[in-house]
A and B are shown apart, each in its own frame.
Chain A
Amino acid sequence: GAVVSQHPSRVICKSGTSVKIECRSLDFQATTMFWYRQFPKKSLMLMATSNEGSKATYEQGVEKDKFLINHASLTLSTLTVTSAHPEDSSFYICSARDLTANYGYTFGSGTRLTVV
């Protein structure tokens, strides 16, 4: 089945630094990938839709300059949290869908970001 690999799984960074999270579709091509943020005991909040070869589409209230998304190939999307602050600490998850298969979205294993 479809596999999405997300790295790193955990990262601790200092305030003011930037962190890059990678999301790869391993056995299928994904023209579209999705980035979510999840707070404890809460559901997934869609941050943005990553489009291969074009600009990402951000959800209302999500800062484009804060969360930079790049989707340079059909198998890789990256999310960069710029000038991170403690309030950016969260669980970030990406997903993609194999359009050749008749099932839902495949999620990465998530990245736990802690900003100290």
Chain B
Amino acid sequence: KAGVTQTPRYLIKTRGQQVTLSCSPISGHRSVSWYQQTPGQGLQFLFEYFSETQRNKGNFPGRFSGRQFSNSRSEMNVSTLELGDSALYLCASSLALGAGDTQYFGPGTRLTVL
């Protein structure tokens, strides 16, 4: 079974631009979560989707948004990019949102903002 895929793998943008990242979950998984990882930090939770609905949102500004499609694929968008948005953005999928549902991660998208 194919794993979680993320596109693109690398991205370079300039301040003020916007960016869209894509995530395809493992087949059959209906939940997708997004995380930001910066140097020295753990994984910071961005948002979580299940059945096209945002179920949880982390403590990030409104410039960060996301959505999930009917085929469970998900996108996240960052508008008006800032230098501090440079990070590894990770997507994870799980069967559902239950307590025992393990999240499986994709390889990430490395975003560099110049």
Q: Report if A and B associate in a common complex.
A: no
Q: Using a CB–CB distance below 8 Å, which chain B residues touch chain A?
A: none
